[in-house]
Structure 1
Amino acid sequence: MTTRRLRTTAARLLAAWLVVLALVGSSVALVPAVAEVARSTWADVLASTRPIGLLTMSDGYTQVAAIALALAPLLPLADVATSLRRRRALLRLAAVLGVVAIVVLTAATAGGAVPVRARLTSLTVAVAVGLALGALISAALRPLLGAHPAGTPGPATRRLAVRSALGYGAFVALVAFTSRPVDSGVTPLLVRALDRLHTVGFPAWMSYSAVEFTANTVFFVPVGLIVVLLVGLRRWWWGAVAGFVISGSVELGQLLFLPDRFASLDDLLANSTGALLGALVGVVLLGRLARRS
């Protein structure tokens, strides 16, 4: 695909996605019946996945994640549509989109049982995460769409990646295959801390399950990063695949050999997501190293 055609396609997709978000947001905000149907439908979807151990977090956590994912494509599409150059315009666009999203979503949830402070906190977190994820994808697209997307890491980078892989692999094995969960000792302290945060206005979705899912995501970010530093930009997606395979092997091992540990599809989802994020970070790092060299 030529550069001009790629820019045109990205611009059209961006316009279409903005129209979809505007229509959905305005419908939910202006028509209470639509908001109620959306909430009940989302609850039904979660109810169908939780018996198999998927999306067992609270409704609020999954709603924040959904909003973040809906906002994430905006910056990458705008970046490609503007030839990957107009950075200040994109930053202004991000700020405007963030403010508009918070205002619209606050109006959409007005009158509910959730306190205003908790509602604003949730929406701010969702918008910030969505735009940060979009910025990461946008930064990763630059080296992938550049003149030399098949860049390979140098010998020093690969040696560092090999050492990191050995050390972090041992750490993952230690955490994954101990007879008891590594967080069993700190769980009561964490639960009490979260309860205190809830009393001062933090959203109820910031629960132990939310912290656990987020921690499992962050835990596998180095996996994707290390793999990309080993294989290069052309096969950057191997980082996400490696995270999925390693996590699946860990969950299967826990299911078969560790009766005190619990295999979970949520863990597989979180670990795979973390590895994908790590792979994107690796793409950005390799791109910068290539520009310096």
Structure 2
Amino acid sequence: MRVRRTAARIVLAFLSAAYLAAVAWITLRARPYGAEVSDVLERLLAWFARHAATAWITFERVEFASNVAMFVPLGVFAVLWFGVRGWWTAPVLGLALSGAIELTQALFLDTRVPDARDLVANTLGAVVGMLLMLLLAFLLVPSRTGTRSRS
């Protein structure tokens, strides 16, 4: 059992490190994405803007949703590392990591624009990941009702 737990921790450490490296690569480059992606995104957003049903899909909303999605795994990893009782670490880590990213962008990356909305979106993403894990834990715990026999 101890070997299996150790192997699981090694895998979790590898996945956590890979995730953090990916977040750093996305957020700490001079540009978040290349010209090809920018062109496609601009065309797609222009197409959405031409249709009444999708005109609400703006760059700001896509960027906010992307930031939320990028930090969902952080909430998942926080619960995996610290357990259900350590749920509170997810929003703290989300805010701390996001703050570190925004500070790094402000101090060292003149091509990036730090934004307080990113703090909100990233922390929200960590909370969503945490809530998904807490829901999963709740659903996987066997029910205690009906387990006691009545004499």
Length-normalised TM-score, structure 1: 0.44
Matched, 1:218 2:75: no
1:157, CA displacement in angstroms?
Answer: 5.3
Instruction: Name the larger-Rg structure.
Output: 1
Q: For 2:94 and 2:32, how far apart are their aligned partners in 1?
A: 20
C-alpha contact (below 8 Å) 2:72/2:125 kept by paired residues = yes
Counterparts in 2 of 1:231 and 1:255: CA distance versus 1, 3 Å: same
Q: Which has the higher contact order (CA 8 A, sep 6+)?
A: 2
Which of 97, 118, 137 is the equivalent residue of 1:286?
A: 137
1:289, CA displacement in angstroms?
Answer: 4.4
Q: For 2:11 and 2:131, how far apart are their aligned partners in 1?
A: 18
C-alpha contact (below 8 Å) 2:48/2:55 kept by paired residues = no
C-alpha RMSD of matched pairs (Å): 2.2
1:275 is matched with 126
C-alpha contact (below 8 Å) 2:49/2:56 kept by paired residues = no
User: Once the two structures are aligned, what percentage of the paired residues are identical?
Assistant: 35
Q: The residue matched to 1:168 in structure 2 has which SS?
A: helix
Structure 2: tracts of 5 or more residues without a match: 144-151
Structure 1 stretches of 4+ moved >4 Å = 156-159
1:288, CA displacement in angstroms?
Answer: 4.0
1:209 is matched with 60
Matched, 1:227 2:78: yes
Matched, 1:182 2:66: no
Q: For 1:204 and 1:270, how far apart are their aligned partners in 2?
A: 21
1:166 is matched with 17
Counterparts in 2 of 1:207 and 1:291: CA distance versus 1, 3 Å: same
Provide the aligned length of Structure 1 versus Structure 2: 139
Structure 1: tracts of 5 or more residues without a match: 1-153
